[in-house]
Amino acid sequence: MSKKNKKLCKEAKNYLEAIRKNKYGKYCLTVEMESYTDLGCLLSALFHISQQSLFLKEEKVEEDIRIDIYNLLDFANKLIPFPELELLDEIKNISR
């Protein structure tokens, strides 16, 4: 293998480290977050965007199905325990 290819492989390996096999042989993706609260906010935004996209008229989805999906996403959004996530952030900061 040429020096150029070795260098390219070494650099590519650094980019591919985010996805690796765990001890069970499953691939895992590591995502870095500033805090537990940030994770909750990200999930909430994901649910909110999904809910809003259901009402775009471009898709030919029956209204009943869209309402059911919207309600399910709304329920899932309400399950995000923001006070507990904030508490975990406080505990993490205290333990440093």
Specify whether 44 is located in the same domain as 60.
Answer: yes
**Average pLDDT over every residue of 48-57:** 79
Between residues 1 and 91, the one the model is more confident about: 91
Specify whether 94 is located in the same domain as 50.
Answer: yes
Between residues 67 and 9, the one the model is more confident about: 67
Share of the chain above pLDDT 90, in %: 0
Written as one string, the DSSP assignment of 10-70 is: HHHHHHHTTEEE-TTS-EEE----S-HHHHHHHHHHHHHHHHHHTT-TTS---HHHHHHHH
Specify whether 39 is located in the same domain as 14.
Answer: no
Q: What pLDDT does residue 4 have?
A: 67
Q: What pLDDT does residue 94 have?
A: 83
Specify whether 38 is located in the same domain as 79.
Answer: yes
Give exposure, 6-29, as e/b (b: 16+ Cβ within 10 Å).
eeeeeeeeeeeeeeeeeeeeeeee
